[in-house]
Structure 1
Amino acid sequence: MTMEKNLWEQVQLVRQKSPLVHNITNYVVMNNTANALLAAGASPIMAHAHSEIKDMINIAHSVVINIGTLDEYWAESMLLAAETADTLHKPWVLDPVGAGATSFRDQILHQLLQFHPTVIRGNASEIIALAKTNTTVTKGVDSTAASNYAVEAAQILVNQYNTIVCISGETDIILSRDQSIQIKNGHALMTKVTGLGCSATALIGAFIGVAEDKASGTAAAMSLLGIAGELAVRESKGPGSLQVNLIDKLYNITEEEFTNHLEIEIS
Structure 2
Amino acid sequence: MDNLNLDSVSKVLTQVKNKVPLVDCITNSVTINDCANILLSYGASPAMCEAYDEVFDFVKISSALYINLGTLTKEQEAAVILASTSAKIHNIPVILDPVACAAIPRKAQVINRIMQVGKVDVIKGNVGEIKFLAGQSSNVRGVDSLDNGEGALDSAVALAKKYNCVVAATGKEDFITDGKNSVVIQNGVEMLTKITGSGCMLGALCGAAIGASENKFIATVSAILSMNIAGEEAYKAAKAPGTFRVKLIDSIYELTEEKLKKGGKITWK
Q: What TM-score results when the alignment is normalised by the length of structure 2?
A: 0.92
CA contact 1:62–1:92 (8 Å) conserved in 2:
yes
Give 1:141 shift. 8.7
Partner Cα distance (1:76, 1:146) in 2:
35
Report matched runs for 1:85-234 at 5 Å: 85-114=87-116, 115-132=118-135, 137=136, 146-234=148-236
Give 1:80 shift. 0.8
Partner Cα distance (2:124, 2:89) in 1:
21
What's the secondary structure of 2:149's corresponding residue? helix
CA contact 2:149–2:173 (8 Å) conserved in 1:
no
CA contact 2:129–2:138 (8 Å) conserved in 1:
no
Partner Cα distance (1:185, 1:141) in 2:
23
Question: Measured at CA, do residues 98 and 41 of structure 1 come closer, stay the same or move farther in structure 2, by a change above 3 Å?
Answer: same
Question: Measured at CA, do residues 221 and 192 of structure 1 come closer, stay the same or move farther in structure 2, by a change above 3 Å?
Answer: same
CA contact 1:125–1:146 (8 Å) conserved in 2:
no
Question: Measured at CA, do residues 2 and 129 of structure 1 come closer, stay the same or move farther in structure 2, by a change above 3 Å?
Answer: closer
What's the secondary structure of 1:147's corresponding residue? coil
Question: Measured at CA, do residues 235 and 100 of structure 1 come closer, stay the same or move farther in structure 2, by a change above 3 Å?
Answer: same
Structure 1 residue identity aligned to 2:256? T
Structure 1 residues 47-79: Cα deviation after superposition (integer angstroms, max 9, x where no partner): 111111111111100000000001111001111
Deviates more, 1:147-156 or 1:53-62: 147-156
2:70 maps to: 68
Q: What TM-score results when the alignment is normalised by the length of structure 1?
A: 0.92
CA RMSD of superposed structures (Å): 2.0
User: 1:24 is matched with which residue: 26, 35, 44?
Assistant: 26
Partner Cα distance (1:53, 1:75) in 2:
12
The alignment covers a number of residue pairs equal to 262
Partner Cα distance (2:90, 2:106) in 1:
27
Partner Cα distance (1:103, 1:171) in 2:
27
Partner Cα distance (1:62, 1:201) in 2:
11
Give 1:140 shift. 9.1
Partner Cα distance (2:106, 2:6) in 1:
42
CA contact 2:99–2:129 (8 Å) conserved in 1:
yes
CA contact 1:182–1:264 (8 Å) conserved in 2:
yes
What's the secondary structure of 2:119's corresponding residue? coil
The runs of 5 or more residues in structure 1 that have no matched partner are none
Give 1:149 shift. 3.1
Structure 2 residue identity aligned to 1:60? S
What's the secondary structure of 1:59's corresponding residue? coil
Give 1:253 shift. 2.0
Report matched runs for 1:45-84 at 5 Å: 45-84=47-86
Partner Cα distance (1:93, 1:140) in 2:
22
The runs of 5 or more residues in structure 2 that have no matched partner are none
Deviates more, 1:144-153 or 1:103-112: 144-153
Structure 2 residue identity aligned to 1:96? P
What's the secondary structure of 1:94's corresponding residue? strand
2:245 maps to: 243
Structure 2 residue identity aligned to 1:14? V
Confirm whether residue 264 of structure 1 aligns to residue 242 of structure 2: no
Question: Measured at CA, do residues 102 and 255 of structure 1 come closer, stay the same or move farther in structure 2, by a change above 3 Å?
Answer: closer
CA contact 2:138–2:147 (8 Å) conserved in 1:
no
Structure 1 residues 237-257: Cα deviation after superposition (integer angstroms, max 9, x where no partner): 301111110111111123332
Partner Cα distance (1:18, 1:72) in 2:
31
